[in-house]
Structure 1
């Protein structure tokens, strides 16, 4: 179990005279600010996430205390320690006592006790030497002696579940009035651990009695309680004893840093090669990681026989001239997690890229590029051209034909035998007119009326150019590739004029390029005007002009190539009649007309029937054609206006009984009313007197 700081803490004051302890008083003291310690002096150490150390202070002022022939003891007891401690028995049931002894001599001289200089490190690295300054300072300059001693127990686990037991001497907050010194030492896990070997006998940790320096090499990982007693002497007389109780967290330290710099190449992971072309001053960009664990940097170069060192993260050096220079960059020098980057600097002669170009500014053609680069090295070895239009070249003096005009950035990267490079970019204003105007219409011969797209394949042009088209029929256009509709017959010449943004001009005429042929005109009639299921045959008469060929499609029910065909429709409904006529020149025209082949609905009402069970004429219903009927209602009335039978089923009939289920109706005359809608929803009504005969 763990414990938070008591607030207040119950501090007991005791006297120790002639080997006997007595309770003097209790003071309840509030603690000061609580601070979580995050500082780790060893940058090689990355603490586990579950390690948390806090500190605070309790300040007690005691005045008018009589000088006694013995010592005063001030103590605070608290349970319990954290259960992760390795070197003592049952740490989660073992408390701690923090105490100081003020001797009679210290009382008489109003002595100031020693104060520790440093807080113990939160963590230390296993198998790495430790040298921790655990010294204290004394205001009067008294002699101080240091030694490892056993930390003290204090209290116990009682009261965790029963609050009434908390103040017992074995409770978590012992009552100082009842729990007097002397206090019991913690029990170390012998034989591997003891007060003088708190980190294990194999670790050989010791404290210098004169300086307080704790040194040695921990060999075991874990959490260890350490006790240090500081005895203050003046003229050989003991003034006070101060006992410090703390923990060392020994962990496996990782190599958390790696020395690295930005370079042109890396050899074997640690040699960083930098090339400087024409510049003796080199700035080194430090890329070492992890930066938060790097405490020191050290750059070193031997320049003209002198070691030039810098201790900043980045560094700049000026070298005397062309040559090779070697150096190092060390992070965390002298620490176990230090690392070294080896630097190889090549200072090469300068290289300057340059080029010229020539071309005809008004007539489209290739641009000639000439390399003008110079180097103080042995020779130039390579050229990378980017012409600004996605095209590239590695020829020293290339020619390039642009397909598009524009203000184009041309870039040259020149290289020498040292792999030094230099880059230059120049803009070329390339706005010539095409050396040859090329157009390609989608059709050269068409039938009036016709729309023709004129594809302008001339290069170089874009939408910054002025384009003028004369289509030969009195119409003009200004698009790069226009579409024009011809509405008259004839042969037409095309003229194209192109003017560039810088005023260059060219034109061309394409004589008799487009021919527009006359088109036939389709037309027809059919008889009779009304075609239905009783009369499904139609005669088609062609009225077209300028045609010498015909094609008919009768709504998908049949075809014909006759000029004046006759066709009998097999299905009723709407039929889309298409006539395509052909001109001798190949031009066509199409006409579509819609014919309604209507299903005929036709009924006849008989005037008598004989429901006498002889199997003949037993049921009264209409006769006729009912295909396509949309609604239907037949009603039988008596002479007194009584409805005797009604149906909406065209197949049903009246059997001479009321509603076809009652008693037989008497012989006589009845009225039949038939209402229906035909296939085109036209209403119809028929009436007939019906004689019922038995």
Structure 2
């Protein structure tokens, strides 16, 4: 190996500055306290003996070596260390303010004279700030956890998700208690890590970095890679009190973890603390080393160191070969130096195959060699042979031609059906003893097997690249990848649902899908290989339908229960009605589906084929409901609906009423309750025979009801109002004894005279009367409508008439003069009637224009 020094540790000691420029203080005050400069660190403690202030206490020197970027100028003058009980629930004990002690900058040499065997030498620089103080703690069975949290880390850390500069860090160490597994565990000092932090690590090249520590008490130390802790935040980058344990791990990028912070190709030597392997790509990686202390074979304490390890794109002069050089196909194998770089100027190969003669060596950069026979050979590479930076390596090469990986698989290739895989690998040397299958299901990590002949069940249809890596006992490995197509289960849709049905029927089942149908069991079924078989089981039966397509099957079941217990019933609302009313008839059954309904008689129902219908019987009727379930199960039920007949109203014949005379009586019949309208002109409106005396001709409607029915029926009677007849009768008159007088009445109808005295006919319109004393004859005239009119005529009877025309007189023209006759006559007539205003009255007025005599 190259004798050049890979890591040089430089220490620069600076005394702590006592004064700062005022401007710098202002700048530090207003800069974000969460500047991204944290690069690593580790806490430690040293037991100093019993307490000075309290001898019962324990006295420790505690400290933190805090790494930051060399370019950082934000330097805290003190840190708070938070102290917790080391037993759950990790009670907070106290904070201790710890001052800054030393500020040391370390940097590697980046000159070619320091590293003549490395090209592209990087610069690696840290500031190490040491915070240290002495504390006294009471003895504690559980011990104490010391912690300091700070934010934030640098950005672009390669093994953490971006952005890494939002993540803080927790530095912590545990002081064991007296209850630890060994006696006096608290009388202990933690190991101190060496400051070997500027070692150069070249990307994609072998490297070794020592994280060794020194224990002052000679305890055994065991090293391991462990989780880095996060802590603090951008909002509170330097918390006065750290959050309580347990502390959370930082998140890691895929492919990295606390146990593999530099990838799977890097490990730690648990005895020496050396981290080595093939470096990852260039970048900065957070790595934490845990060192456990053992005393007398018992572990009792642990310390931690975190570092941001810088991996750079430098190139060392290194000879390295593939550690798995093996050929199993033929005898030829190609070679190369895995760590070639610009500093390598020549290559010298020896293939360890003397039987190949001159071909056993090569000066090519990328040679190939055909080995003379199967076997194990030692290949050696020397780079820069004869030059200052020379390196060499040897590697065993296995040559076992004739290894052929193979496998077969067996149909059906269906989802949720195991596919059987069979290994057919052949080898000409040794025997096949390793198998690793990957079934190509990207959504799970559980799609692998190490069995020789496994089976695997695919749950999703599609094409899967099934891969077999098989190997033999000599180290031969080969890979075969074969695509297989996993078909979906055919889409089966069973349209028939679980049901009970009429046991006298047959039932058609229906399924849908593409493929071949099979129904089981095969009893009491027609068309068992069709999508629509007909079944007629005699007992409850579960039928299974299977649909097959491309060797894949889907199944479903339907349960059929034949029954012969059909029943029905009828509910009527209301249960009795009056004529002209309706009611609702509702059928019910102990079955719920595939029912048909038929009401009879159908003439008096609205919907004879529905479960519920309106009915309008005019007389008491028996209704029958026939319920059919399926095709052949039939049952009937009958209900009687009593119907109360309505009234047959009779209002009586139309009548005439003579105004002002006796009311007429109306005569209704046909029921036991009556209501007349309008009520005007009636003596009562709620009796059968009220008296009517309307003011005008009126149509009276009588609503006639019967007991138990609210509905009535009506009839109408017209009461025609007639006026009293008009009568013309002889005026009162005077006759002389023994004269006879004829009375005269005009009209049609009937007449009656009273008294029956000295009258020849009391029913004559023109009777002759000859009273001998003054008599008043009264007459009642009745017309054709029964209306009557009463009148009278006074016949005065005298032996003779007394008469005086008055005294003669003179008047002046053109005056008028009233004649002043006196007498007891009934009528008077003046002659001549010249100039008179009325010649037939007793005292007329005249206005003559010449002398005239009136008689």
TM-score by length of 2: 0.27
Larger radius of gyration: 2
The one of the two structures with greater contact order (alpha-carbon pairs below 8 A, sep at least 6) is 1
TM-score by length of 1: 0.33
